[in-house]
A and B are shown apart, each in its own frame.
Chain A
Amino acid sequence: MDYIITVAVFTAITTLGVLGTFVLTGLTGLFSLGQAAFMGLGSYIAALAVVKYDVPFPLAVAMAVVISVAVAYVIGYTTLKIRQDFFALVTFGFGEALRSIMDESVKYTGGAMGFSGVPQLTTPWLAFGSLAAAVWLVRNVRKSKFGRDCLAIRTDELAAQVIGIDAFSHKLKVFLLGAGLSSFAGALMAFFTTYVEPGMFGWIQSAIWIIMVFFGGRDSLTGTIFGAATLSALPEILRFASQWRVLIYCVIILLIINFRPAGLFGRWELSLENLGLKHRRVGPGIPEGKIHG
């Protein structure tokens, strides 16, 4: 039982981290190869605060998020004006830069040997509760005017700007939100696995998160959660087939992109209406139908 709970909590925290990528890529169409680095940043700050400076756990987590968001602000402010491909490159560079700083600061953080002996303070309740809260937050952001404006930016930035949406400020806010979510997940993760090392937060990890979002469907919050949960729990469950597992996983992604590019869930969301348990209110609103992009 203990082991299964461990897998479940690990999956929940990873999903929370992936939500950071979801808001960034799903809402604004940006993709960041450094999202996992924010998780790393959150982990390290929280772990250092508690272990070296005896800061109480909740305060440490808060510090981790605040500092990460501040860093994201600096990065975002300077780089969001650059075009998309470059943004991916810059976030990649950021991830690697962060990793090298972690590696170098051996005296404080144990460097590449990692930081162990972090007390296990993340309870399953905390993990699942946080995930639930984050999902609620993201859902509301998406439904708000802010969220819809972001979607407009994603679909056609030039047009959105023409009707008066400030693309830069929206993108920056989303970037901050994403960083906040991922760093929070990172803080939880550190106090769960009790071990943090720089290698856990590289660009491949960020790329995998993007893939998870696309697997579930970047227009579907439910889809992303499903995608993240499945793809992070799968390695444990398919332990015996480990070599083939990665192969299967890649093939699945290829199939999805080719045959169902909107992701497994498309735009379907888990809601009472969609489950047929509540009557859909007919009235003014965005008409259902296929929208490109």
Chain B
Amino acid sequence: MKKLSLLVAMVIIALLAVFGAGGAAAAEEILVGNIQDLSGPNKAFGLATFNGAQMYFDKINAAGGVNGMKLKIISYDTKSEVNEAISAYRRLCDLDKVSIVIGPPIANMGIALAPIAEGKKIPIIGLYMDERATTKPDGKPWTYMFLAQNSSGAQARTIALYAVKDLKLKKYALLYNQQNAYSVSLVEPFVAYVTENGGTIVAKETFMTADKDYRAQLTKIKQANPEAIYMPNYPQEIPLTLQQSFDLGIKATILGNNSYIPFALASNTDPKASEGVYFPYGIDPSDPKLKEFSAQYEKKFGYPAITQAFSGWDLGGAIVEAYQRALTASKKPSGDGLAAELAKTRDFPGFQGAFTISPKTHRPLGLTMYILQVKGGKPVTLIKLIPPEEK
């Protein structure tokens, strides 16, 4: 009998906790959900996205908010697990009743959320670069999914363009995590561009997320004698791939992805191992126009701003502008209304350039990219490029 009443008591407490946790918005608030890796090896990007958006919202709130309503972010930590992201999204929609969600810069999560967003009808705008998070296999866009930085294809084609046209490299090898949608989504367009433009892939090696030792794969790559190795990987893998490649005496040019800041830089990687590495990046860190934001950001958060922070700002801007436009049609904009307005984002003056979203793909159009190189453990900006179009 005692056990039963204990059980009942626990159930009641549990239900109270769950019920008590959700809440309706105060009358003058716009609730924005935030699904990010706030802890874990990829938290640098999640935090950057969130911080960038938050800074934009702070600016708008300081000036009175959107039609007098303040923007408030409700955040959930996804802890690098896709199921957490799904769960968090459901919670944001059903319990917290947010109008719109800031999504994660994690491809696996974006892809998983897309069909669920179709059902819940609350739009998500995030930095998941993989095209499958924003468009369906038949090419039509997912109604409620939007991307606020250059897609994987655009980024991969950018570095491929530089390698083929500027560095004039012909023989390429690949080393990437086959379990990671992000890496895979960068490799495929890279290979497509390179092979269409006269290059060849002489070696393709993969590893799994749990692996930390890639020397067997790198030895095979070395044997194939490539001129360049493309290694578009996640934070924890970057220092390891660079160090092990260096230790094996591999002399090929190394090409990376936009996670190379900060993970290929000094303090994360031995400068000898990262010397000369090239990678694409959404912004030019040495651009004086970005200095003010960077200084404010670093002062507020204690660490420097990386490209995802700038994209986060642009993302925040897109949300605010879409909400403002939606308000002209209805006092409490619906998910459908907001999604429609997000698709009409045009020339928002963002850090990444004139930020416009294509209604056909829900991805940005015509954003520029930069090629950077690591010298002495620090990034140096080389050139600005326009990503080649998708074929």
Mark A residues whose CB is within 8 Å of B. Answer: 1-4, 6-7, 100, 103-104, 106, 111-114, 116-117, 120, 193-195, 197-200, 226, 230, 233, 236-240, 242-243, 265, 268, 275-276
Residue of A nearest to B208 (CB): A103
Instruction: Say yes or no: A114 contacts B18, CB within 8 Å.
Output: no
A112 and B177 CA atoms in complex are apart in Å by 10
Q: Which residues on A sit within 8 Å (CB–CB) of B115?
A: 116-117, 194-195
A197 and B107 CA atoms in complex are apart in Å by 13
Q: A106-B184, A116-B112, A117-B115 are in contact. List 8 more A-B contacts (CB 8 A).
A: A104-B178, A106-B178, A116-B111, A116-B114, A195-B82, A195-B116, A200-B83, A239-B76
Instruction: Say yes or no: B94 contacts A112, CB within 8 Å.
Output: no
* Interface residue B27 (Cβ < 8 Å from any Cβ of A): no
Instruction: Say yes or no: B3 contacts A268, CB within 8 Å.
Output: yes
Instruction: Say yes or no: B14 contacts A237, CB within 8 Å.
Output: yes
Instruction: Say yes or no: B181 contacts A113, CB within 8 Å.
Output: yes
**Of B85-93, B232-240, B272-280, which binds chain A?**
B85-93
Q: How many Cβ-Cβ contacts under 8 Å join chain A to chain B? A: 87
Instruction: Say yes or no: B14 contacts A226, CB within 8 Å.
Output: no
Instruction: Say yes or no: A113 contacts B116, CB within 8 Å.
Output: no
Given contacts A103-B208, A242-B77, A268-B3, contact A113 B107 (CB under 8 A): yes
Q: Which residues on B sit within 8 Å (CB–CB) of A104?
A: 178
Instruction: Say yes or no: A114 contacts B82, CB within 8 Å.
Output: yes
Q: Which 8 A-B pairs have the closest CB atoms?
A: A112-B179, A3-B94, A113-B181, A195-B112, A2-B94, A117-B115, A237-B14, A116-B112
Residues facing A in B178-208 (CB within 8 A) are 178-181, 184, 208
Instruction: Say yes or no: A114 contacts B4, CB within 8 Å.
Output: no
A144 and B117 CA atoms in complex are apart in Å by 48
A200 and B86 CA atoms in complex are apart in Å by 13
Given contacts A114-B112, A242-B77, contact A193 B83 (CB under 8 A): yes
Instruction: Say yes or no: B108 contacts A197, CB within 8 Å.
Output: yes
* Interface residue B17 (Cβ < 8 Å from any Cβ of A): yes
Of the A-B pairs whose beta carbons lie under 8 Å apart in the complex, a sample of 29, sorted by A's number, is A2-B90, A3-B95, A104-B178, A106-B178, A106-B184, A111-B184, A112-B108, A112-B181, A113-B108, A113-B181, A114-B108, A114-B181, A116-B112, A117-B115, A194-B115, A195-B115, A197-B82, A197-B108, A199-B179, A233-B14, A236-B87, A237-B14, A240-B21, A242-B79, A243-B39, A268-B3, A275-B1, A275-B4, A276-B1
Interface centre among B22, B82, B95 (most CB of A within 10 A): B82
Shortest CB distance A239–B (Å): 7
Q: Which residues on A sit within 8 Å (CB–CB) of B8?
A: none
* Interface residue B7 (Cβ < 8 Å from any Cβ of A): yes
A3 and B132 CA atoms in complex are apart in Å by 26
A7 and B77 CA atoms in complex are apart in Å by 18
Q: Which residues on B sit within 8 Å (CB–CB) of A233?
A: 14
Interface string of B12-35 (1 = CB under 8 A from A): 001001100110000000000000
Given contacts A113-B184, A237-B17, contact A103 B178 (CB under 8 A): yes
Interface string of B151-192 (1 = CB under 8 A from A): 000000000000000000000000000111100100000000
Residue of B nearest to A102 (CB): B179
Q: Which residues on B sit within 8 Å (CB–CB) of A230?
A: 10
A156 and B125 CA atoms in complex are apart in Å by 60
A239 and B74 CA atoms in complex are apart in Å by 13
Instruction: Say yes or no: B7 contacts A114, CB within 8 Å.
Output: no
A128 and B297 CA atoms in complex are apart in Å by 50
Residue among A111, A193, A226 making CB contact with B7, cutoff 8 Å: A226
Interface centre among A2, A3, A238, A243 (most CB of B within 10 A): A3
Residue of A nearest to B76 (CB): A239
Given contacts A103-B179, A114-B111, contact A3 B4 (CB under 8 A): no
Instruction: Say yes or no: B208 contacts A100, CB within 8 Å.
Output: yes
Shortest CB distance A121–B (Å): 13
Instruction: Say yes or no: A195 contacts B21, CB within 8 Å.
Output: no
Shortest CB distance B111–A (Å): 6
Q: Which residues on A sit within 8 Å (CB–CB) of B180?
A: 112
Q: Which residues on B sit within 8 Å (CB–CB) of A194?
A: 115-116
Interface centre among A103, A112, A194, A233 (most CB of B within 10 A): A112
Residue of A nearest to B136 (CB): A117
A195 and B3 CA atoms in complex are apart in Å by 37
Shortest CB distance B178–A (Å): 6
A6 and B90 CA atoms in complex are apart in Å by 9
Residues facing A in B101-122 (CB within 8 A) are 107-108, 111-112, 114-116, 119
Instruction: Say yes or no: B178 contacts A4, CB within 8 Å.
Output: no
Interface centre among A2, A113, A117 (most CB of B within 10 A): A113
Shortest CB distance B304–A (Å): 26
Q: Which residues on A sit within 8 Å (CB–CB) of B116?
A: 194-195
A207 and B236 CA atoms in complex are apart in Å by 26
A2 and B7 CA atoms in complex are apart in Å by 24
Shortest CB distance A1–B (Å): 8
Shortest CB distance B155–A (Å): 18
A193 and B108 CA atoms in complex are apart in Å by 15
Q: Which residues on B sit within 8 Å (CB–CB) of A111?
A: 178-179, 184
Q: Which residues on B sit within 8 Å (CB–CB) of A1?
A: 94
Residue of A nearest to B77 (CB): A242
Residue of B nearest to A270 (CB): B4
Q: Which residues on B sit within 8 Å (CB–CB) of A117?
A: 115
Shortest CB distance A38–B (Å): 18
Residue of B nearest to A200 (CB): B83
Residue of A nearest to B116 (CB): A194
Shortest CB distance B23–A (Å): 13
Instruction: Say yes or no: A195 contacts B86, CB within 8 Å.
Output: yes
